[in-house]
A and B are shown apart, each in its own frame.
Chain A
Amino acid sequence: MIGVGKIKQYSNILEKPLSKGKQEVSLSAFAFLFSELVQYNQTRVDNIAELERRLEDAGYAVGARVLELLCHRDKGNRRETRLLGILSFVHSTVWKVLFGKVADSLEKGTEHEDEYMISEKDLLVNKYISIPKDMGTFNCGAFVAGIVRGVLDGAGFPAVVTAHFVPMEGLQRLRTTILIKFAEEVLQREARLG
């Protein structure tokens, strides 16, 4: 009989149980999709800064949702309120869920108090991407930078987040570093909290 054994209907998305997040798709499916995202955005911009901004926007939308999802699922509806807490949340929890591993490193900038860096040897989104010479410093990591910014912003830590290629000794491929520069108010609050 038709209708028997069919997927259960939920009239409202909020009634749906939250998935455990163990489902997977093939890496190529994601790579194909991501490449379309880049190509589509390339048709709508006339410079690289603009292209990075658009990728970052797309990432921001992802980050905002990831924060919400993970706070509900993994943190019992609590979110971090301290700077180091939220940074390690991004570096460990968010990275692990999205990319299957903890980020390679999390460092504090040496020159500026408000700068932190998350580095990744082989960033997922850069895996199948090679940057044409005429596009200079363009980095698809802008998408991931956007995700990070989305998470931070949603948690009340506004920041400017950018992605850069950094050469590493002994490695052929460039490492991607996500540079996080927090807004002044964040540092002030942090200082007040002691």
Chain B
Amino acid sequence: MPPAAPRSGDAIFASVERVNAELFTLTYGAIVRQLLTDLEEVEEVNKQLDQMGYNIGIRLIDEFLAKSNVSRCVDFKETAEMIAKVGFKMFLGVTASVMNWDADGTCCSIVLEDNPLVDFVELPDTCQGLYYCNILSGVIRGALEMVAMKTEVTWIPDILRGDDAYELQVKLLKQVPEEYPYKDDE
């Protein structure tokens, strides 16, 4: 039997159970606010958000692979396309595009046209160093680590800071070859 063709992000999003984005947005806002109160330092909050995203990413990749029928990507370019076209669509219902590749194809930007995390959000002056959506970069890093890619994900501009798009820079640090004995599902 030939492998099933990968499904489009739209098709998956249409078939999964969904919830109101406002509940999601406001819940995320409540988390950020709790972190700011608990940790006090904006830097610490950025770190914690990234950690939470990482925790989500390492679990989310399973669902992604199970529902999308994506097979192993041939190169990092394909990987980035998958994240943008399928991943963002199937979980957040938003479209993203990949651009600004560097010469050797290991670094690119994922640009979000729309970001459900930031509705109703206005950053106060005291939080200027905050990467409000830092959880997303953690998710990507965690998910890619589970498919043997070490990456570094950073935010470039941020609409909340007056820039004009949400742009994540994903940089491939190294591919981790799978080592023998191959890890089976536990």
Is B truly associated with A? yes
Write the A18-46 contact mask toward B (1 if CB under 8 angstroms, else 0). 01010111111110111011011100100
Checking A12, A29, A44, A98 against B22 with a beta-carbon cut-off of 8 angstroms, the contacting residue is A98
Q: Contacts A36-B55, A97-B22 hold; do A62 and B116 have CB atoms under 8 A apart?
A: no
CA of A41 to CA of B34, assembled, Å = 9
Flag if A13 contacts B18 (CB, 8 Å).
Answer: no
CB distance from B83 to the nearest CB of A (A): 14
CB pair B52–A36 under 8 Å, yes or no, is yes
Most buried by B among A19, A27, A40, A124: A40
0/1 interface trace, chain B 36-69, chain A, CB 8 Å (1 if under): 0010000000001000100110011001000000
Task: State the Cβ distance, B9 to closest chain A Cβ, in Å.
Answer: 11
1/0 contact trace for A69-106 toward B, CB 8 Å? 10000000000000000000000000001111000000
Query: What residues of chain B lie closer than 8 Å to A7, measured between beta carbons?
Result: 113-114, 159, 164-165
A27 near B27 with CB under 8 A, answer no
A136 interfacial contact with B, CB 8 Å: no
Question: Is chain A's binding surface mostly helix, strand, loop or mixed?
Answer: helix
Tell me if B23 is interfacial: C-beta within 8 Å of chain A.
yes
Q: Chain B residues near A69: list those with CB within 8 A.
A: 22, 120
Q: Evaluate contact between B22 and A9: CB separation under 8 angstroms.
A: no
Q: Do the beta carbons of A98 and B18 come within 8 Å of each other?
A: no
Residues of A within 8 A of B23 (CB): 30, 62, 98-99
Do the beta carbons of B27 and A62 come within 8 Å of each other?
A: yes
Q: Is the CB of A32 within 8 A of B60?
A: yes
Contacts A7-B159, A28-B63, A32-B59: A58 and B34 contacting too (C-beta < 8 A)? yes
Is B161 interfacial (CB 8 A cutoff)? no
Q: Are B18 and A26 in contact (CB under 8 A)?
A: yes
In the bound complex, do residue A58 and residue B31 qualify as a contact, i.e. CB atoms below 8 Å apart?
yes
* Complex-state Cα separation, A65 to B26, whole angstroms: 8
Q: Which residues of A contact B116 (CB under 8 A)?
A: 23, 25
Cβ of B1 < 8 Å from any Cβ of A?
A: no
Q: Give 3 nearest A-B pairs by CB, closest first.
A: A23-B21, A27-B17, A24-B18
Instruction: Give A residues with C-beta under 8 Å from B.
Output: 3, 6-7, 9, 12-13, 19, 21, 23-30, 32-34, 36-37, 39-41, 44, 54, 57-59, 61-62, 65-66, 69, 97-100, 124
The interface of chain B, by Cβ under 8 A from chain A, is: 13, 16-24, 26-31, 33-35, 38, 48, 52, 55-56, 59-60, 63, 90-93, 113-114, 116, 119-122, 135, 159, 164-165
What are 12 A-B pairs with beta-carbon distances under 8 A?
A: A6-B164, A7-B113, A9-B164, A21-B21, A23-B93, A26-B19, A33-B56, A36-B31, A36-B52, A40-B35, A99-B23, A100-B19
